[in-house]
Chain A
Amino acid sequence: MPFLSAPMWHSNRTHRFRLFVLLMGLIVGFFACPSPSSATEPQADLSASISRGQQLYQRACILCHGKAGDGDGPDAFYLGAYSAPRPRAFTEGEYKFRSTPSGELPTDSDLLETITNGIPGFMPFFSSLAESDRWDIVAYIKQFSPIFQETDKRTPIVLPPGPLPPNRESINRGHELYTLLDCEKCHSPLAIAPNGLYEQGELRDRRELDILPPDLSKPASFKNGHRPQDIAQSIMTGLDGTPMASFRETLPRPEDIWHLVNYVLSFSRPQ
């Protein structure tokens, strides 16, 4: 029974990552403290910012993301060379956590947010670095692909007014949408579809590596955050490079996004 192996695999990995992240946190913390943080405007001098960003990157990110920004740092091996997700290859210019539509680049603030909050289970958070340092790193990682320079605007999507109160009515509508939009084919129960549409190994990421949808009853594991607006954003924009598509243009009514979010959050709330 494939779905029995799924949660075990999950917890094993989570454990390994926790250890790893703890270690990384220590290392980063150690280096981050004495770092001379400049209080100047983040974009005041781009090339100075990039070279400061490079120094920080070499201390804090290089082990996973690699010298060339191709996601192939020495520690990337321990993250599981043959399982998703691999550390992002900045050279390819594809990002999961964006406020922008499917297929677009993230905004600078999106990148800053990822660096600040980390990715639960996969990447340490760097909120201990001064904000100006984090902006410098943003400026530096954008250099790995010409695509940021070639792209003139990166416009965030606008969420409809909300969130809406998670009452029975809203959750019921959310449930309807969850079925209508096939969310359950990937997300339930235990991440393996009940009707066997997606068997283990059938869902692949951009590198053709197996990727598991998260257990939606554990919002703390959501990579892109678990506040209602974070979840709304993930569903609206999709996670590029994975089978998790964007639903912004799919939802029958704009406010439906909040019903869907309320339903997703109801998995982790006592009924």
Chain B
Amino acid sequence: MNNSRTPLKLFKRGFLPVGIVFLVSLLSPVHAENLETNTLRGKILYHGAIPPPEEHIIKQDAEVCGKTRQIIPVTISQDGGLQRAVVSVEGMNSGSPQKRPPLILRNDKCQFFPDLGIALVKQPLEVQNLDSILHNTHIRTKKRAFINVVLLPQSKGIKKVIKKPGPMTIACNKHPFMEGFIHVFDHPYHAITNTQGAFTIPNLPPGTHTLSLWHKTLGTIQRTVTLPQKDGTLLNIEFPAP
């Protein structure tokens, strides 16, 4: 028996470097020639009228929530890039997504964090209340309640697994000025537009796709896009005024 050939040594000598190179190649963009071409890059633009902010005078729990609250219906960048729109590719069910840690939804100073979130099917949602007052988190899908639950001050641990894709709205029965949105997907092909209205969705198969674009005030529209995009092109999509 040749002692120098124990599996561990073999591994250290030869397989470890090879393995590392392999792993790195999986992760690194070098490997991804066709990933690169099948990455959808775009920008959502909006040039319609911008509704004025909603001003709420807070009667209940002002000592925690503040005396007033402003809700901004639409935010755009200087060149009209629409912020916080949700972009997703339709018809992309990728089977059963992996287990994920819970999406934490916090009630904090009478605001939801995140107030625009993304979750995957089978992911648990955990609702927490960081405030010193009661909250009543009421989350609804288009047609039904997902959960309507009262939270004691400073409480954690109310969990429920999300089972269906689709948009959900978050409200507080006690504080009507609190609002939030969660979009649930059964695939990884989605993004929220950044401060410039831009988004990136990587790893798409080539071909023609239908994009769904959602904005809390402007509604939902659909557009088609064909991949791969020509080098360096950015897909510009104009969101029509509602």
**What is the CB-to-nearest-CB distance from A257 to chain B, in angstroms, rounded to a whole number?**
13
**Residue B56 at the chain A interface, CB threshold 8 Å:** no
Find chain B residues with CB under 8 A from A219 CB. Answer: none
Comparing A12-20, A76-84, A244-252, the segment that makes contact with chain B is A244-252
Distance between Cα atoms of A181 and B155 in the complex (Å) = 13
Distance between Cα atoms of A101 and B157 in the complex (Å) = 15
**What is the CB-to-nearest-CB distance from A84 to chain B, in angstroms, rounded to a whole number?**
15
Whether A103 touches B148, Cβ cut-off 8 Å, given contacts A245-B138, A245-B173, A249-B158, is yes
Find chain B residues with CB under 8 A from A92 CB. Answer: 143-144
**Residue B147 at the chain A interface, CB threshold 8 Å:** yes
Find chain A residues with CB under 8 A from B160 CB. Answer: 101, 103
**Residue A197 at the chain B interface, CB threshold 8 Å:** yes
Count of chain B residues with Cβ under 8 Å from any Cβ of A?
Answer: 24
**Residue A121 at the chain B interface, CB threshold 8 Å:** no
Closest to B133 in A: A182
Count of chain A residues with Cβ under 8 Å from any Cβ of B?
Answer: 25
**Residue A69 at the chain B interface, CB threshold 8 Å:** no
**Residue A94 at the chain B interface, CB threshold 8 Å:** yes
**Residue B149 at the chain A interface, CB threshold 8 Å:** yes
A240 near B174: Cβ-Cβ < 8 Å: no
Interface residues of B in 186-225 (CB under 8 A from A): none
**Residue A102 at the chain B interface, CB threshold 8 Å:** yes
**Residue B152 at the chain A interface, CB threshold 8 Å:** yes
Closest to A183 in B: B150
B147 near A103: Cβ-Cβ < 8 Å: yes
**What is the CB-to-nearest-CB distance from B151 to chain A, in angstroms, rounded to a whole number?**
7
Distance between Cα atoms of A60 and B144 in the complex (Å) = 26
**Residue A156 at the chain B interface, CB threshold 8 Å:** no
Find chain A residues with CB under 8 A from B60 CB. Answer: 197
Find chain B residues with CB under 8 A from A147 CB. Answer: 144
B149 near A250: Cβ-Cβ < 8 Å: yes
**Residue A238 at the chain B interface, CB threshold 8 Å:** yes
**Residue B59 at the chain A interface, CB threshold 8 Å:** yes
Find chain A residues with CB under 8 A from B157 CB. Answer: 249
**Residue A29 at the chain B interface, CB threshold 8 Å:** no
Distance between Cα atoms of A190 and B155 in the complex (Å) = 31
Find chain A residues with CB under 8 A from B181 CB. Answer: none
Cross-chain contact of B148 among A182, A185, A246 (Cβ < 8 A): A246
Find chain B residues with CB under 8 A from A246 CB. Answer: 147-150
**Residue A228 at the chain B interface, CB threshold 8 Å:** no
Whether A249 touches B149, Cβ cut-off 8 Å, given contacts A182-B134, A243-B173, is yes
**What is the CB-to-nearest-CB distance from B96 to chain A, in angstroms, rounded to a whole number?**
14
B145 near A94: Cβ-Cβ < 8 Å: yes
Interface residues of B in 113-163 (CB under 8 A from A): 134, 136, 138-140, 143-152, 155, 157-158, 160
Find chain A residues with CB under 8 A from B176 CB. Answer: 202
Whether A238 touches B148, Cβ cut-off 8 Å, given contacts A92-B143, A94-B143, A245-B138, is yes
Q: Which residues does B use to contact A, with CB under 8 Å?
A: 59-60, 134, 136, 138-140, 143-152, 155, 157-158, 160, 173-174, 176
Q: Which residues does A use to contact B, with CB under 8 Å?
A: 92-94, 101-103, 147, 180-182, 185, 196-197, 202, 206, 238, 240-241, 243, 245-247, 249-250, 252
21 of the cross-chain contacts (CB-CB < 8 Å) are A92-B144, A93-B143, A94-B145, A102-B145, A103-B144, A103-B148, A182-B134, A196-B59, A197-B60, A202-B176, A206-B140, A240-B148, A241-B144, A243-B136, A243-B138, A243-B173, A245-B138, A245-B150, A246-B149, A250-B151, A252-B152
